[in-house]
Structure formats: structure tokens, C-alpha cells
Structure 1
Amino acid sequence: MNRPAPSLLRPRKAPKQARSTATLEAIHTATIQVLLAEGVGRLTTARVAERAGVSIGTMYQYYPHKQALLFAMVERQLETVIGFMLTAAEQLRGQDVGTVAEGLALAWIDAKTPESEAFRALYGVVAEFDLAEGMGQALAQMTEVFSGLLAAAPDAHFADCEAVAFMLAVIIGGTVRMLLDTAASPDNLARLRQELPRACRAYVASAR
């Protein structure tokens, strides 16, 4: 599959005023609404512009085509999760390793499930883009944050704290995505919220 380089998909300009920021937010919200209502196959910049209440000219000031718009949405969702996790990490600092592991799992679930339909809609277009660099940076950032939390725990006794943090990030991220992508029923989401924190606590306990 020939996927466009991320550098070719960047927005044409960034918002500099409150009005521009509001316009961009309206475009992003409309994109999710069109995706959920009509699917990626029927999504066009014209449909999004109409739903957002902006002119097609305004749309093109930011996103010259559909691929650029979808790429921006995927990156935006990734940034949302990272920001949520950084906030949660500050609240967990100094807790024991079991509490940290459970708290990180719950935070990741909380970051994604309120907009689970939006995440599922975007998962369907992820394969169209080269996200290796961005995903790699996100994993590295989460590994660093998780490692710092685990190292600061009063009962931390890990031979390789970074390796444990890496696996914890992979376990949490991969499990949540698998469920949202394939079986995101209310019952399964409730089961995930109950069992994933327990699994993460058991993992860090066994790794000590």
C-alpha cells in the first residue's frame, strides 16, 4: 500500500485567533459526525464543511483534501489520549506499584471510552496513513512516564523498570484498542474496566 508521507498531510495553516480555533473545532466535530453517520467512504470535505457550517473555501484553508483531514483527526485523538495520561500520571505519583498500574489502566480506558464510537470510526482509517513515527513517539513517551511512576513508587523493586513500563503501556494500549475495535458492547466495556486494572496489577507484581 502506498501511503502518503505525514509531511504531505499537515494542515495548510494553524489557527491563531479564538475564532479560527472555534472554526477548526467545528470542522473536527463535524468530521466525526459524518464518519459515524455515513462512513469513511461517503465522507468528503464538502459534506464536512456543510455540517460544520463553514464554507468550502474555509475548509481548504486548513485541509486541502480528505486525507489531510482524516490524518489530522487521527493525530488529534492520539494527542487527546497522551494529554489525559499525563494528567493521570501526576495524580498517581508516589503511589505503590499496584495502585499505579491499576490507575494507568483506568485512565487509558477513561480517555477512550467516552468517545469510543469516534475512536472506532478513526481506527478504520488508520491503515491508510504512515503513523509509525507518531505512534513510536507516543509509545516512547508513555514508557518514559510509566517508568518514572513505577520508579518513584515506595515498593518499587524492578530489575529493569523501563522494560516493565514498556510492557505495561503495550498491554494497556493494545487491550483497549482490541476491544474498542471489535467488541465494544456495554457489557464488554464494563468487563474491561473491571479486569484490565487487575491484570496490570498482577503483571507488575510478578515483574518485581
Structure 2
Amino acid sequence: METGSPPPLTPRKSPRQGRAVATVDAIFEATLQVLASDGLIRLNTTRVALRAGVSVGTLYQYFPNKQALLFAVLERHLDMLAGAIEKAGDHNPYPAKEMIAEAVVKAYLQTQIARAEVSPALYRIAMELDARALIEAAARRSASAIEAMLSTSGNGRFADPGLLAQTLTAALYGTVPPFCHRILSVADAHEAEKQLTIMFRSYLVAQPRQD
């Protein structure tokens, strides 16, 4: 039995002018709001367009179908995650190794928890649309940012900062997401940040320094 070709996930065009950028931003925000209020199964382009205050035709100018829209929303979310870790490195030049753990965990979790109500849906989107390439790209950016922090640690150089960065990134993108794939209370979020920081800090402190 033929199932046909999968729907295209590439946007039809990218916004270039200010008004177009604002329109696409409104569509993205509306998608998140519909995910939160109606859930992934009930989300469709008509509901999103109505919430964004645009016509369905305008939405289709940028995204050819629902799957392409959801793929773009996930891509933007992953870009924000990686960007938050990169920004943490920029804001913490020559950090002590103990502070690297805190900065990385805080950047990642705060970005995830900022939209915790749609995190389960984003996880399902990643699985259903096979977004491995997007996740791997975000992980590579995150690993590079963490390696840069480890390489400039103010209290001793690590023997293999690249390997350590890969390990921490694997934890962030592999074992940490279950914290965020259910709606966390404020107390739960603070406790998750506390426990992950302890785990990451202990791992870094235990690493031998390079003379």
C-alpha cells in the first residue's frame, strides 16, 4: 500500500521586510498559543491564522502546510535554546568551573521552562517530523559554546574540554528534556535547576586539570 510522499517541511519563503517579519512572528506566537490551548491534535492552519489575525492565504504564503509550520516553530525553539547557551558564554568570560555548570543549566532550563505549557507538544513534533538534523545542529552549537567556556576557565584548564562539552551537551539534549516535557510548577522548575547544577558542577570539579 502506497502512503505517498511526506509533506514538504521547507518554508515557501523567508520574511525580509519589517512587516513580513512581524507577520511571521505573529504566526509563530499564535501557533504556540493554539498548542497550549487546543493541543497538537486540534491545531490546524485555520485556528493559527485566526489567532494570529491573518488570513489562511497569508499563512500559506510562508508555510505550505501544517507540518512545515510546526517544523519551523520547533526550529525556532531549538535556535533559542542554543542561542541562550551561547549568550551565557558571552556573558561569562573566564568563568570558574563551578560557575560554568550554573550558567549552562540556567540558560537551557529557563529557555525550556519559559514555554513549559507547549514543551510536550514540541517533543511530539520532534518525534513525528523526524527532526534529528535540527536537534543535532542545536546540540553542536551548544557544545561549541560550552567548550569555549571550558577552554577559558579562570581556575585551571581542562585536559579535554571538547569531550567534556560533548558529554554535558548529550545530557542536556538527551536526559534533561524529560524535566521539560511535562508542565512544571515554579517549585519543580527551581528544584530541577538546583539538581542539574549540582550534577554538572560535580562532574566538572571531578575532572583533572591540565598543568
Normalising by structure 2, what TM-score? 0.89
User: What is the DSSP-based 3-state SS (H/G/I as helix, E as strand, rest coil) of the residue aligned with 2:10?
Assistant: coil
**Structure (1/2) with the larger helix percentage:** 1
Instruction: Report runs of 4+ in structure 1 exceeding 4 Å deviation.
Output: 1-5
1:122 to partner: Cα distance: 1.4
1:3 to partner: Cα distance: 9.2
User: 1:79 is matched with which residue?
Assistant: 79
1:139 to partner: Cα distance: 1.5
Unaligned runs of 5+ in 1: none
Residues 172-191 of structure 1 show CA distances to partners (whole Å, capped at 9, x for unaligned) of: 33344111114623332121
Separation in 1 of the partners of 2:52 and 2:176?
Answer: 30
Separation in 2 of the partners of 1:190 and 1:25?
Answer: 29
Indicate the RMSD between aligned Cα atoms, in angstroms: 2.0
AA partner of residue 11 (structure 2) = P
User: 1:142 is matched with which residue?
Assistant: 142
Correspondence 1:166 to 2:166: yes
Separation in 1 of the partners of 2:154 and 2:127?
Answer: 41
1:88/1:3 Cα in 2 relative to 1: closer, same or farther (>3 Å)?
A: farther
Give the 5 Å matches for 1:45-124.
45-124=45-124
The 8 Å contact of residues 3 and 130 in structure 1, kept in 2 or not, is answered as no
1:119 to partner: Cα distance: 2.5
How many correspondences in the alignment? 206
User: What is the DSSP-based 3-state SS (H/G/I as helix, E as strand, rest coil) of the residue aligned with 1:34?
Assistant: helix
Residues 84-142 of structure 1 show CA distances to partners (whole Å, capped at 9, x for unaligned) of: 11111111220111111221111111222122113332112211112222222222221
Name whichever of 129-138 and 67-76 sits farther off: 129-138
User: 1:187 is matched with which residue?
Assistant: 187
User: 1:12 is matched with which residue?
Assistant: 12
Unaligned runs of 5+ in 2: none
